[in-house]
Structure 1
Amino acid sequence: MLDPARPQQNALVAEQGGQLVGLVHYIFHAHNWRVEDVCYLQDLYVDPAARGTGAGRALIRAVCAAADATGTPSVHGLTQGGNLPVFNGVHP
């Protein structure tokens, strides 16, 4: 994620009140049925004390914005069922 020669691997962090409260890792990769790359949201973590504050949604939206900025038509990821409310409705 820190190697400029590998721009397909990325990370972002969330801050609240000057404190780091979350992070997300995402990867742009080829897709067998699309000409364009797609984006895999690989890891999303928000500190338990910051959950419910919108930090997770903000990180997901930031990944979607990065995908949009590169012309990547799709963001996908896997999550446990209890986390679905964070993912649903974040990106049209």
Structure 2
Amino acid sequence: MVYLQISLKIADANRAAAAGIYQKYKEPFLSTVAGAKSKDLLVRKEDVQVLHGFDSQENADAYLQSELFTADVVAGLKPLLDAAPEVRIYEVA
């Protein structure tokens, strides 16, 4: 299992809108992205994280280049961000 973690700095006032984007694209992610296994929204005081589960590093990397991610998710979140997202990929040992 491979996890793609995207940490987002989003003001409290914009978090509901960001959660709406997460909900809007969760099903298309799970049903159309190669190797997609899971997608979870994690909320902390400091930030919001989206944790994506994949079957391989290659599929996680490919998602970051996909139209769903670049044209839909990123475009929707961009006006809500207070800083550039932090993207990390982890492989389960």
- Which structure shows the higher helix fraction? 2
Between the two structures, name the one with larger relative contact order (CA 8 Å, sep ≥ 6): 2
Is the pair's TM-score, using the shorter chain for normalization, greater than 0.5? no
TM-score (norm 1): 0.36
